[in-house]
Amino acid sequence: MVQFPNCKINIGLHIVSKRVDGFHNIETIFYPVGLKDILEIVVRNTPNSVIQNQSQIEINALNDIEFSSTGIPIPGDAANNLCIKAYQLLKKDFRDLPAIKMHLHKHIPMGAGLGGGSADGAFTLLLLNEKFRLNLSQEQLINYAAILGSDCPFFILNKPAFATGRGEILESINLDLSHYTFVLVHPEIHVNTKWAFEQIQPKTPTKSIKEIIQYPIEEWKNHLQNDFEAPIMQQHPEIAAIKKALYEDGAVYASMSGSGSSVVGIYPQHANIQIKKQLNYRTDLI
């Protein structure tokens, strides 16, 4: 069985306050975008010893997972992969969950503010629930996803949402941008999220993002901001240059997504988009 985990963008992001647990309360809009990975899960009935010639194979025999990946290389220990963690999470409560082979083709840039890893983890929960008829409700899946990470519950719903708390408190909103084209530019700059939070003095915004997005989209650039942009663009002026280039190319709104480093441009659907020819960075039109 195959699923196609999609990414998300942040439309506006305010750092509202620091919590006693060390995390921060935020407010932002999560919006699903059709840049996708590919995730396949099948029941494993082939002995590990004869598996060969697959890219980046990692086997966790204790938890009955054989994990492989292609596409963008996935760094780090496979045990920290959210897809594997999602399987392990369900296995604790569903002991009869069979051994599986899981393959992930990674296409969404990592560390880019697009939530690709969170999407993969959440879609693993959805796929396992469907394939093995676990009959988990949406609420139960959201609870499991929240254990995986703050962004993960959004991908269970996968609809535009106003997010608060650490990003796990979601309120569905009426926001339809289907008549626009999204341009995602990824400059392959790694931004340390902890450092980024340390650069910001949290404050309650004078106007909520949920209110601002009711304005015509052409007015967003005057009112809608991502609090991470100022310190990160000062540290990495290339990101500021990308945002400027998107506006010069005809975007009606442009912003860094999350803590970066991807920058999103929203264009009228039939715009003559030239930015891909102008930048030497990965650029996806969706």
User: 180-186 and 161-164 as β-strands: parallel, antiparallel, unpaired?
Assistant: unpaired
**Residues 244, 251: contact at Cβ < 8 Å?**
no
Q: Are 216 and 32 in contact (CB under 8 A)?
A: no
Residue 4: CB atoms within 10 A of its CB come to 13
Type of residue at 283 = T
Return the structure tokens found at 65: 């997972």
Radius of gyration from C-alpha coordinates of the chain: 20
108 forms bridges with which residues in the sheet? none
Query: Does the annotation count 8 as an active-site position?
Result: yes
**176 in active site:** no
Listed residue (7, 9, 10, 11) closest to 35, CA to CA: 7
Residues 6+ apart with CB under 8 A from 200: 15, 227, 228, 231
**Among the options 91, 106, 120, 151, which is catalytic?**
151
CB neighbours (10 Å) of residue 230?
A: 13
Cβ distance 120 to 37 under 8 Å? yes
Q: Rounded distance, CA 70 to CA 54, Å? A: 8
Give the number of other CB atoms < 10 A from CB of residue 169.
Answer: 16
DSSP for 194-242, please give it: HHHHHT------SS-HHHHTTS-GGGHHHH--BTTHHHHHHH-HHHHHH
Active site residues: 8, 151
